[in-house]
């Protein structure tokens, strides 16, 4: 199910791992040294691996006209993608930089043998992501190598300045020409101390910005391997087209439900009441007692029809939602639950009515799902606005397993996802077996 997750590592988690794990944040010196070691390790692998894969890729593609490249190119590009995936994993784990993949899926009707190999080769060569990988291989041994090595180089160069200040500059200049340390010609005690001062500055920069320098390497990698803006735009257009169709289908379904409820409920009662009133008109003089009984029945039917109409209106747009907003409407939902519920609301104002309505009915569906399937003893509902996003979290202490089949609607969450998708919202589910279940719904919106 799109947008559904069950235990996702966030960028903050990756940053924590980069800084030294899930405990207290690592000190600047330790973080800088760790960045230097990691950058040095990346540089050592970037140069040979990327050069070898680049050469193999170019040779394999050049041999395609001879037929040999058709057989070798898919395997070579598979290694290239594995190398790129490894760098993506390091970027996320060491610097919190997420680099999404944008490879086209293989054809569903792929064949085997030489024909299938040729089709696979053509499919890979037509994929723009393949040529972004090749461009990255071309850049990785040069700019990628230098940016990965930068944290270690800055620290090492700073330490060299301190070594020169300690009087060891004589071992560098060979007793003849001055030894140039950056822009400082070291040929005596004074210039050695100047080199030491510059070394302290570089050391301070390395200790303070070492992790930032390593992140710069992975940011460069993301610029080469990541999806281009136009690809993200096309993906967003496709998603909006899909959600528009879902919204139209949902509106048509809702209209049919309203028509069915009116026909089977209030309309049938009103027709019966009209027939009773006709009978009363005929009996009012001949049999007053019978007419009085029918009047009482007509009054009961009118009250029942009015109640059904109120329920129908409440199903379309609850009055409490229109009058008092989403927070009080969710509290009213919680009061009708057969189990204890705790509601926390942090909303600075009202959001757009369509968003309020979508969030309300999404919460209602999730709570119905909890009552029917979760076997929970308690439920917690948190509604808050985060500045650009309306976020609703429903947590229960039930048996879990709610994520299975959600996309197909088997657990009742498929309808929630389609409802939120019409507003470019997302649904995230964390529901391990044994519980607890956490359902998070987010809708981009503006608060008034």
What is the domain-level CATH number for residue 400?
3.30.565.10
Q: Which of 110, 131, 130 is nearest to 119 (CA)?
A: 110
Number of domains in the chain: 3
Question: pLDDT of 168-187, one tens digit each?
Answer: 666 665 555 676 767 777 76
Are 198 and 182 a contacting pair, CB within 8 Å? yes
Q: Which of 316, 347, 373 finishes a domain?
A: 316
**Average of per-residue pLDDT across 422-437:** 84
Name the least confident of 123-137, 138-152, 221-235, 249-263: 249-263
Best CA proximity match to 390, nearest among 434, 360, 430: 360
What is the pLDDT, as a whole number, of residue 383? 92
- Average the pLDDT over 379-401 and give the result: 88
Q: Is residue 403 part of a domain?
A: yes
Same domain for 171 and 248: no
pLDDT of the residue at 273: 76
Q: What is the pLDDT of residues 20-35, one digit of tens each?
A: 333 333 477 888 888 8
Residues whose CB falls within 8 Å of the CB of residue 343, separated by 6 or more in sequence, listed in order: 327, 330, 331, 334, 380, 381, 382, 383
- Residues 328, 295 within the same domain: no
d(CA 396, CA 384): 18
More confident residue, 43 or 276: 43
Least confident of 3-12, 70-79, 138-147, 431-440: 3-12
Q: Is the pLDDT of residue 443 over 50?
A: yes
The residue range of the domain holding 126 is: 11-227
Same-domain status, 296 and 185: no
20/121 same-domain check: yes
Residues with Cβ < 8 Å from 436, sequence gap 6 or more? Answer: 395, 396, 397, 398, 400
Q: What angle do CA 101, 102, 104 make, to 5 degrees?
A: 125
pTM over 0.75: no
What pLDDT is attached to residue 134? 92
pLDDT value at residue 17 = 34
Mean pLDDT to the nearest integer, 211-228: 87
| Of residues 324, 323, 344, the one with CA closest to residue 334 | 344
The model's confidence at residue 407, banded by pLDDT at 50, 70 and 90, is: very low
Q: Residue 4 domain-assigned?
A: no
Residue 5 lies in a domain: no
């Amino acid at each position: 199910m799109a947008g559904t997750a069950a235990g996702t590592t966030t960028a903050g988690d990756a940053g924590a791992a980069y800084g030294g794990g899930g405990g207290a944040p690592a000190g600047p010196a330790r973080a800088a040294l760790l960045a230097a070691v990691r950058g040095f390790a990346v540089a050592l692998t970037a140069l040979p691996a990327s050069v070898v894969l680049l050469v193999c890729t170019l040779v394999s593609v050049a041999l395609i006209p001879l037929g040999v490249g058709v057989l070798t190119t898919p395997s070579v590009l598979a290694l290239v993608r594995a190398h790129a995936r490894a760098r993506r994993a390091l970027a996320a784990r060491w610097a919190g930089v997420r680099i999404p993949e944008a490879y086209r899926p293989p054809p569903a009707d792929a064949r085997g043998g030489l024909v299938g190999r040729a089709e696979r080769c053509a499919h890979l060569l037509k994929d723009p992501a393949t040529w972004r990988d090749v461009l990255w291989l071309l850049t990785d041994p040069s700019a990628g190598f230098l940016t990965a090595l930068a944290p270690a180089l800055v620290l090492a160069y700073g330490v060299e300045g301190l070594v020169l200040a300690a009087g060891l500059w004589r071992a560098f200049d060979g007793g003849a020409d001055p030894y140039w340390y950056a822009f400082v010609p070291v040929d005596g005690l004074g210039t050695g101390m100047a080199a030491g001062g510059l070394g302290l500055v570089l050391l301070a920069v390395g200790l303070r910005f070492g992790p930032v320098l390593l992140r710069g390497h992975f940011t460069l990698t993301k610029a080469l391997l990541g999806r281009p803006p136009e690809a993200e735009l096309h993906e967003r257009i496709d998603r909006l087209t899909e959600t528009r169709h879902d919204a139209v289908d949902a509106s048509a379904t809702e209209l049919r439900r309203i028509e069915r409820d009116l026909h089977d409920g209030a309309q049938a009662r009103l027709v019966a009441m009209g027939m009773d009133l006709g009978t009363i008109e005929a009996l009012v003089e001949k049999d007053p007692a019978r007419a009085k009984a029918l009047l009482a029945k007509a009054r009961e039917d009118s009250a029942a029809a009015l109640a059904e109409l109120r329920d129908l209106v409440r199903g379309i747009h609850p009055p409490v939602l229109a009058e008092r907003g989403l927070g009080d409407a969710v509290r009213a939902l919680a009061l009708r639950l057969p189990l204890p519920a705790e509601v926390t609301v942090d909303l600075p104002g009202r959001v757009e009515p369509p968003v309020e309505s979508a969030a309300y009915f999404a919460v209602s569906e999730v709570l119905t799902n909890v009552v029917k399937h979760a076997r929970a003893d308690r439920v917690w509902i948190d509604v808050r606005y985060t500045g650009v996003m309306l976020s609703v979290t429903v947590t229960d202490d039930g048996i879990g397993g709610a994520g299975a089949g959600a996309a197909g609607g088997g657990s009742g969450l498929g309808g929630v996802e389609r409802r939120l998708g019409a507003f470019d919202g997302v649904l995230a589910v964390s529901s391990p077996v044994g519980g607890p279940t956490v359902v998070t719904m987010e809708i981009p919106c503006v608060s008034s």
